[in-house]
Amino acid sequence: MLDFTKIDYLKTGNERQKRAYEVLAKHQIFEKLKDYSPILAGTVPIEIDIEGSDLDLIFEVDLRFEEDFLDDLMFSRFIPYDVETKVEYPIINGEKCITLNFMLEEFPIEIFGQNKPTTQQNAYLHMVAEYKILQEKGEEFKQKIIELKKQGVKTEPAFGILLGLENPYEDLLKF
């Protein structure tokens, strides 16, 4: 299986993955913010992204010190000063999180921080489960997922539809 905790695998991926690698490497996000254990999650790493899909970057953030995290993002110049950002603090599964959305070159970026290791966050666990399922089910299944996504269905529900899962957000964690 791919090591999704590093972004090297993107260098040999499809064109969008290669471009994502170039942008992430150029802005040195993984080096500058290594203290927060960044991982690229979502659809781009597992090649089920569609036009307009964002790059989902997840981080381990102690939200008691969220201002330090925000300062590190800004002062690392990962988020250029002239870029408009949207910061929110949703409660997910009873836990406070932080999200930031902005554009970086041609990519919409979503930063998601939670006070738990990135490899234990649902975004990572879902991606790994989806990757395993895609490997097992093959190209035809993958194309059906992409087709559902093009129709506006979110990723986990798309897997749920094709796999007959009652609660895909929970059920995918069992794979």
CA proximity to 59, closest of 128, 130, 124: 124
How far is Cα 27 from Cα 34, in angstroms, rounded to an integer?
Answer: 13
How far is Cα 154 from Cα 6, in angstroms, rounded to an integer?
Answer: 25
> Does 94 or 42 have the greater pLDDT score?
42
Mind listing the domains of the chain with CATH numbers?
Answer: 8-174 (3.30.460.10)
Average pLDDT of the residues in 38-57: 95
- Looking at the chain, the whole-number percentage of residues with pLDDT higher than 70 is 94
Contact 118, 37 (CB under 8 A): yes
Global pTM value: 0.90
In the predicted model, is pLDDT for residue 54 greater than 80?
A: yes
* Predicted local distance difference test score (pLDDT) of residue 69: 83
Helix intervals (H) in 14-154: 15-26, 29-32, 66-75, 122-137, 139-150
> Does 103 or 133 have the greater pLDDT score?
133
* Predicted local distance difference test score (pLDDT) of residue 70: 77
* Predicted local distance difference test score (pLDDT) of residue 132: 97
In the predicted model, is pLDDT for residue 156 greater than 90?
A: yes
- Which of 93-123 are b and which e, b meaning 16 or more Cβ less than 10 Å from the residue's Cβ? eeeebbbbebebeebebbbbbbbeebeebbb
Query: How sure is the predictor about 13, in pLDDT bands with cuts at 50, 70 and 90?
Result: very high
State the distance between the two ends of the chain, measured CA to CA, in whole angstroms. Answer: 14
Beta bridge partners of 56: 41, 110
* Predicted local distance difference test score (pLDDT) of residue 83: 65
142 three-state secondary structure: helix
In the predicted model, is pLDDT for residue 78 greater than 80?
A: no
pLDDT digits 0-9 by tens, 24-44? 999 888 988 899 999 999 999
